[in-house]
Amino acid sequence: MRKALRTAVSERVPEGIPKSVKLGALVMLAGIVFDGYVHLFAAHSHSGVLIGPFSLPEHFAHLVVFVGMLIVLGGVMARGLTASRHPADLTGGKDAIR
Protein backbone atom coordinates (compact mmCIF):
# COMPACT_ATOMS: atom_id res chain seq x y z
CA MET A 1 0.00 0.00 0.00
CA ARG A 2 2.85 2.36 0.79
CA LYS A 3 4.36 1.83 -2.64
CA ALA A 4 1.04 2.54 -4.33
CA LEU A 5 0.56 5.69 -2.26
CA ARG A 6 4.10 6.89 -3.00
CA THR A 7 3.54 6.29 -6.70
CA ALA A 8 0.22 8.12 -6.60
CA VAL A 9 1.70 11.09 -4.77
CA SER A 10 4.74 11.26 -7.05
CA GLU A 11 2.43 11.31 -10.07
CA ARG A 12 0.49 14.25 -8.62
CA VAL A 13 3.39 16.41 -7.44
CA PRO A 14 5.72 17.69 -10.15
CA GLU A 15 9.43 17.52 -9.32
CA GLY A 16 11.45 20.56 -8.41
CA ILE A 17 10.70 23.98 -7.06
CA PRO A 18 8.55 26.21 -9.29
CA LYS A 19 10.31 29.10 -11.00
CA SER A 20 7.96 31.61 -9.42
CA VAL A 21 8.91 30.37 -5.95
CA LYS A 22 12.59 30.76 -6.82
CA LEU A 23 11.92 34.26 -8.17
CA GLY A 24 10.00 35.19 -5.02
CA ALA A 25 12.84 33.91 -2.86
CA LEU A 26 15.32 36.05 -4.80
CA VAL A 27 13.10 39.12 -4.42
CA MET A 28 12.83 38.42 -0.69
CA LEU A 29 16.60 38.02 -0.41
CA ALA A 30 17.17 41.31 -2.23
CA GLY A 31 14.64 42.99 0.06
CA ILE A 32 16.27 41.55 3.18
CA VAL A 33 19.71 42.76 2.07
CA PHE A 34 18.30 46.19 1.25
CA ASP A 35 16.41 46.23 4.55
CA GLY A 36 19.57 45.40 6.48
CA TYR A 37 21.47 48.14 4.69
CA VAL A 38 18.74 50.69 5.33
CA HIS A 39 18.40 49.81 9.00
CA LEU A 40 22.16 49.79 9.61
CA PHE A 41 23.27 52.82 7.62
CA ALA A 42 20.57 54.90 5.99
CA ALA A 43 18.14 54.94 8.91
CA HIS A 44 20.46 56.99 11.09
CA SER A 45 20.61 59.89 8.68
CA HIS A 46 16.82 60.55 8.69
CA SER A 47 17.33 62.88 5.78
CA GLY A 48 14.15 62.78 3.81
CA VAL A 49 10.51 62.01 4.32
CA LEU A 50 9.50 60.36 7.58
CA ILE A 51 6.32 58.31 7.68
CA GLY A 52 5.74 57.68 11.33
CA PRO A 53 9.04 56.86 13.00
CA PHE A 54 10.50 55.32 9.82
CA SER A 55 12.01 56.83 6.70
CA LEU A 56 10.69 56.16 3.23
CA PRO A 57 13.53 53.74 2.29
CA GLU A 58 12.72 51.61 5.35
CA HIS A 59 9.11 51.29 4.25
CA PHE A 60 10.19 50.49 0.70
CA ALA A 61 12.57 47.75 1.91
CA HIS A 62 9.75 46.10 3.84
CA LEU A 63 7.48 46.40 0.80
CA VAL A 64 10.05 44.57 -1.36
CA VAL A 65 10.19 41.68 1.13
CA PHE A 66 6.38 41.58 1.26
CA VAL A 67 6.14 41.45 -2.56
CA GLY A 68 8.62 38.56 -2.54
CA MET A 69 6.40 36.73 -0.05
CA LEU A 70 3.38 37.24 -2.29
CA ILE A 71 5.28 35.85 -5.30
CA VAL A 72 6.28 32.76 -3.30
CA LEU A 73 2.71 32.28 -2.09
CA GLY A 74 1.39 32.60 -5.64
CA GLY A 75 3.87 30.00 -6.87
CA VAL A 76 2.94 27.56 -4.13
CA MET A 77 -0.77 28.04 -4.80
CA ALA A 78 -0.29 27.59 -8.54
CA ARG A 79 1.63 24.36 -7.95
CA GLY A 80 -1.12 23.11 -5.64
CA LEU A 81 -3.85 23.93 -8.15
CA THR A 82 -1.90 22.22 -10.93
CA ALA A 83 -1.42 19.11 -8.80
CA SER A 84 -5.10 19.03 -7.83
CA ARG A 85 -6.19 19.04 -11.49
CA HIS A 86 -4.43 15.72 -12.02
CA PRO A 87 -6.00 13.41 -9.45
CA ALA A 88 -4.08 10.22 -8.91
CA ASP A 89 -5.64 6.81 -8.83
CA LEU A 90 -5.78 6.04 -5.12
CA THR A 91 -7.77 2.83 -5.48
CA GLY A 92 -4.63 0.87 -4.77
CA GLY A 93 -3.26 -2.12 -6.51
CA LYS A 94 -2.13 -5.60 -5.60
CA ASP A 95 -0.87 -4.37 -2.22
CA ALA A 96 -4.12 -2.68 -1.19
CA ILE A 97 -5.78 -3.76 2.01
CA ARG A 98 -9.34 -4.73 1.26
Is 49 inside any structural domain? yes
Is 32 inside any structural domain? yes
Q: What tens digit of pLDDT does each residue of 13-31 get?
A: 556 788 999 999 999 999 9
pTM: 0.66
Is 91 inside any structural domain? no
Is 61 inside any structural domain? yes
Is 96 inside any structural domain? no
Is 98 inside any structural domain? no
83-91: average pLDDT: 62
Number of domains in the chain: 1
Is 19 inside any structural domain? yes
Percent residues over pLDDT 90 in the chain: 35
Which phi and psi angles does 50 have, rounded to 5°?
-105, 130
Q: Which domain holds residue 30?
A: 2-84
Average pLDDT, the chain: 78
Which phi and psi angles does 31 have, rounded to 5°?
-65, -40
Contact 35, 62 (CB under 8 A): yes
Half-sphere exposure of 83 (CA within 13 A, CB side): 16
